[in-house]
Amino acid sequence: MIPVYGVAGRQVAVLGLGRSGLSAARAIVAGGGTAVCWDDGAEGRARAEAEGFEIRDLTRGGAFEGVAELVVSPGIPHLYPKPHPVIEAALAAGVPVDNDIGLFFRSLGGEAGLPRVVAVTGSNGKSTTSALIAHILQEAGRPVQLAGNIGRGVLDLDVPGEGDVVVLELSSYQTELARALTPDVAVFTNLSPDHLDRHGGMGGYFAAKRRLFAEGGPDRAVIGVDEVEGRFLAGQMTEGFGDDRVIRISVERKLPGPGWSVIGRKGFLSESRKGRQVASVDLRDVAGLPGSHNHQNACSAYAACRSLGLAPRVIEAGLRSFKGLPHRSQLVAERGGVRYVNDSKATNVDAAAKALQAFESIRWIAGGLGKDGGIAALELHLGSVAKAYLIGHSAREFAVQLTSVPVEICETMEVAVARAAEEAQPGDVVLLAPAAASFDQYPDFEKRGEDFIARVGALSPQAISDK
């Protein structure tokens, strides 16, 4: 655990008592402070009370008397579509609001020591990129811990020492609110519309991501420039055409000029500096990183690890031994010549498009709780789809929008997997890439992916042998 710096003898309120909230409360106490806790749900309050924390209804008048600051869990809105009442009360009382990420960064240099911190944000690929960076470092023998939006809560980390590396995956919810953001290396993977109600639109969403760079002042910025926002951000961070503090990443185009860049095109990663190629990696047979979207993740991870001093061949060895993450282009079975791939994390149109471009001859399982705009934009990416099997709340809406491929409304995962398996031929890929949230039928995308895996595992051997 990392004790929070600057809270000794002070009372700190904690709102939201899930993983990050309880972790923050423990770390506040470890730093000599007093944590007073509140959660809108009785279950969360009971968990905190069982650990001996004081429960205080922060919605009541006068609740913030004597409180030095409020620490908020990432799922709680603090600005748009409207602030949570407790946050409104804190702001009205002049109490500053922070989150566990801010507490983590401000606590480095005390008992936490001074590790190198790599922070990864973006719309898609940040989990894979973060895990890949940590894997490469671990394979290279570097002490590394992975935390944030993946793995452990940041304040649950072991106290890092000099020379250690901490890799953080950070969501827009986390970067928007953190009062301290000081990574050594900051990574921006890409940007596509997501969480727009939470950020008041696309501009607010990008501004939340941009804070990691503008507020953090990283020594090195690794920035995907295939969207205009990334190009804008890279331009803001650079001091000139050849400034190698910015490493530009692309999987769509060559990047001219004398700067530092890493591109992934036609299955090859290439690193260029000062106008010449200095290293390359063939990614085509790297099983854990299929498709151009994963090649983008590989480029970002490669650049981050180069920033930390790793040699290209050391990084290549780590890329090749990476097995991938659950629910992200995860090969879960191959039966009767048919591959079954779980990409339940493809919860928006952009992520689903990348998954659909990674494979050929696809039996596509999609649907769930649709987002604004539905999936009509995916019509441009269905050239390899033989048929769509639609599930969940938006199944009928999606069926109307998909005009270029055959569709079948299955409603449940059980029916969709069974029907796709019945109709699949050797060489086909049964791909779960929902392009929708999971909350209509599952508590999260992980449970949805686990259901897909279970349904694949339960397929009749007779149905498979009939292929």
Q: What is the pLDDT of residue 163?
A: 84
Q: Would you give the DSSP letter of residue 220?
A: E
Q: Which residues are annotated as a binding site?
A: 122-128
Tens of pLDDT, residue by residue over 236-295, are 999 877 788 999 999 998 888 889 999 999 999 999 998 899 999 999 989 888 888 899
pLDDT of residue 397: 96
Return the pLDDT at 465: 46
Check residue 185 and give its pLDDT: 97
Q: Which residues define the annotated binding site for ATP?
A: 122-128
Pick the closest to residue 194 from 55, 351, 5 (CA basis). 351
What distance in Å separates the CA atoms of residue 431 and residue 423, rounded to the nearest whole number?
13
Which residues, other chains included, contact 241 with Cβ-Cβ below 8 Å and sequence gap of 6+? 257, 258, 259
- pLDDT at res. 240: 77
| Largest Cα–Cα separation, the chain | 71
Do 200 and 80 contact (CB within 8 A), yes or no? yes
Helix (H) / strand (E) containing 136: helix 126-139
Six token digits for residue 285: 């047979």
Helices 445-457 and 413-423 pack at an angle, to 10 degrees, of 50
Q: Distance between CA atoms of 461 and 332, rounded to whole angstroms?
A: 16
- pLDDT of amino acid 215: 87
The pLDDT assigned to 227 comes to 95
* CA angle at 286 for the pair 283 and 289, rounded to the nearest 5°: 90
What does pTM read for this prediction? 0.82
pLDDT of residue 461: 65
How far is 304 from 132, CA to CA, in rounded Å? Answer: 10
Residues (pLDDT < 70) of the chain are 110-113, 461-467
Q: How far apart, in whole angstroms, are the C-alpha atoms of residue 195 and residue 207? A: 13
- Which domains can be identified in the chain, with CATH numbers? 11-98 (3.40.50.720), 102-321 (3.40.1190.10), 330-459 (3.90.190.20)
Distance of CA 409 to the CA centre of its chain: 30
